[in-house]
Structure 1
Amino acid sequence: MNLSDYQAHFLEFLFGGTSTPVQPNSEVYRFGVEAKAVRALEQGYPTVRALLGPADFEGLALDYFRMIRKQSGDWGDFGWGFSSWIISHRISDRVPYLSDVARLDNHVAGVERSQYEEVSVASFNAIGEDLASCSLILNKGIQFFRSMYPVVSIWEAHKSETPKDTLSFAQAKRMIAKGLGQNALVYRAGWKGMAEVITERDVLLLEAVRNQRSIAEVFGEDVLKDSNFTYWLQDMIAKGVIVGAKTIH
């Protein structure tokens, strides 16, 4: 067997394509790599693991590892497509909301690793009388998305060692029964990733801000007189979701 054939056979064995080892110690190496893959996914998707339990999660993780394979030398990058891949896995028939929960886990982990932008207080001086000429700046590190399922409540419940005893679990159960979902906002408090439910109106507002539409377009010409807007903006600034303002015309 030449070197090329040896490498091809070893990789096939490593990723479960064959059960025939190349060398007597090949199984030890494969088990070690598989264990690293499972640990990497456990760190990135703790809610998914809590939902499934250790055994089922390990099986799912190994299915992903063998299908996708590790593409880089950094285990921190492994699992970036896990939430999308789950949709096509048979487990989604049993746990249909698992992909969205994985997506939330991934966003929380991503926010914790991201270069979170600091709020520029001085930049808010750009907000003048002409609200059509300025816009708010959305933190590039935050994430938000819509889900058909109560993903935030599920995520909250499974931070507890006894999820079924939490109010979040009861809420999620009721919402699933009624076919209701949640919109999730993912941001950072200190270095910790946070997730909370936001309204559809907030999603539309944040989408408009992300698209750099003017304050007048998004909120209206008289918005500065609206106390609700003031409270909303203060809350978003406190969470680092809105980090500044700028002139656009």
Structure 2
Amino acid sequence: MSCDAACEREAQRQQLLLRTLWREAPDATLAGWLRDAAPRQARGLSAYRANGEALAARALAAAYPTVAELIGEEAFAAVAARHWRERPPTCGDMALYGAGLAEALAADAQLASEPYLADCARLDWAVHRAETAADAHAPPEGLQRLVTDDPAELALVLRPGLVLLASRWPIVTIWQAHRSHAEDRFAPVREAFAQQRGEQALVWREGWRPRVSALADAEARFTQALLGAQPLAVALDAAGEGLDFEAWLMQALQHGWLAAVLPCPPHAAAAER
């Protein structure tokens, strides 16, 4: 058998093994591909499935600690096992596994009584990904342009990994409560639910630590416009009178939100005019 044919056969065998582990194909499909007798094959597949589900559960618990605490260890293990079967890993880096858990939680009828879980999962995932985001230039490139250039011709580039999440639920307050050691750490959560307060979460990495902060409406509108690559003048208009730009800029420099101040692309500046 040629090397190419052997490699192709091995790739087919591995793909078939994965499909069997994920129950996309019956166990008997592997007959003829494995040398072991059927009982031993069954034990081996069972062990592989158990190990795969355990690995998925650990990876998801690391990425979604708030969700894991909210629903409890046993329920989270069941969610992780189901997610592993329905959306198995597609790459070897388990730190990238689980991006679709929020959508799975939103569609899970058994969790319908906790509709905030999906947004809590989105926040957990944003924090998880922020941990490995690229570094930003410090101090921000082109900062002097804020003094010399027309805001209609400037673009404020936010740091890599910075994410804005809007929710009808108090997801920042929930996230913070699960990291607090206060005696009644969930009192702010109860108050937020009583007020039916939604929150807009800003997620970024500061130094080596991921950070989460709730933004006021004006700040959120401004940030969303910047993330959409709008010129500074457009972002200021979107924010409205509720934004103190100088105060925002001081925070942006202090926390490392701002990566660069660049000239707008010609078409963006022309659109603003």
Q: TM-score, normalised by structure 2?
A: 0.78
| Cα deviation, residue 161, structure 1 | 6.4
Structure-2 residue corresponding to 1:224: none
Return the index of the structure with the highest Cα Rg: 2
Q: What SS class does the counterpart of residue 165 from structure 1 fall into?
A: coil
- Could you tell me whether the CA contact under 8 Å between 1:119 and 1:244 is conserved in 2? no
Greater mean deviation of Cα atoms: 119-128 or 78-87: 119-128
Q: Higher mean Cα deviation, 237-246 or 61-70?
A: 237-246
- The one of 201, 205, 213 aligned to 1:184: 201
> Among residues 61, 78, 100, which one is paired with 2:97 in the alignment?
78
Asked whether the 8 Å contact 2:222–2:235 carries over to 1, the reply is yes
Q: CA deviation at 1:37?
A: 0.6
Superposed, 1:28-177 pairs within 5 Å as: 28-121=47-140, 123-127=142-146, 128=148, 130-160=150-180, 165-166=184-185, 169-177=186-194
Q: Which residue identity does 1:55 align to in structure 2?
A: E
1:97-129 Cα deviation digits (max 9, x unpaired): 100001000000111111132234451112215
Q: For residue 156 of structure 1, what is the amino acid of its counterpart?
A: Q
Structure 2 distance, partners of 1:41, 1:193, is 18
Relative contact order, CA 8 A, sep 6+: which one is greater? 1
Q: Which runs of 5+ in 1 are unaligned?
A: 221-226
In structure 2, stretches of 5+ residues that fail to align are: 1-9, 29-38, 238-242, 267-273
Alpha-carbon offset, residue 228 of structure 1: 3.3
Pair 1:25 & 2:44 matched: yes
Indicate the SS of the match to 1:96.
coil
> Contact 1:97–1:149 (CA<8 Å) still a contact in 2?
yes
* Aligned length in residues: 241
CA distance in 2, matches of 1:209, 1:188: 18
Report the CA distance between 1:217 and its aligned residue: 3.2
Q: Which amino acid aligns with 1:177?
A: A
TM-score, normalised via structure 1 length = 0.84
Residue 36 of structure 1: how far off its partner (Å): 0.5
Q: Is the 8 A contact 2:140 2:258 kept in 1?
A: no
Q: Mean alpha-carbon deviation: is it higher for 117-126 or for 201-210? A: 117-126
Give the whole-Å Cα distance in 2 for the aligned partners of 1:6 and 1:243: 47
Asked if 2 retains the 8 angstrom alpha-carbon contact of 1:117 and 1:141, the reply is no
The residue number in structure 1 matching 2:231 is: 214
1:235 matches 2:243: no
Partner secondary structure for residue 146 of structure 1: strand
Q: Aligned equivalents of 1:144 and 1:5: distance in 2?
A: 42
Distance in 2 (CA, whole Å) between partners of 1:93 and 1:122 is: 46
Question: Deviation per CA, 1:19-63, whole angstroms, max 9, x where unpaired?
Answer: 887433322222111110100101111111111111111011111
CA pair 19-62 structure 1, distance change in 2 beyond 3 A: farther
1:208 deviates by: 1.8
8 Å contact 2:223–2:235 — kept in the other structure? no
**Counterpart-to-counterpart distance in 1, 2:248 and 2:221:** 14
Q: Find the counterpart in structure 2 of residue 15 from structure 1.
A: 22
- 20-29 vs 107-116, greater mean Cα deviation: 20-29
Task: Summarize the Cα distance change of 1:84–1:31 in structure 2 as closer, same or farther, 3 Å threshold.
Answer: same
Distance 1:143 1:62 in 2: 28
Distance across 2 between alignment mates of 1:209 and 1:4: 45
**Structure-2 change in CA distance of 1:10 and 1:130 (3 Å):** closer
Q: Is the 8 A contact 1:92 1:99 kept in 2?
A: no
Task: Output the CA distance in 1 between the equivalents of 2:260 and 2:134.
Answer: 16
Q: What is the percent sequence identity of the aligned residues?
A: 27
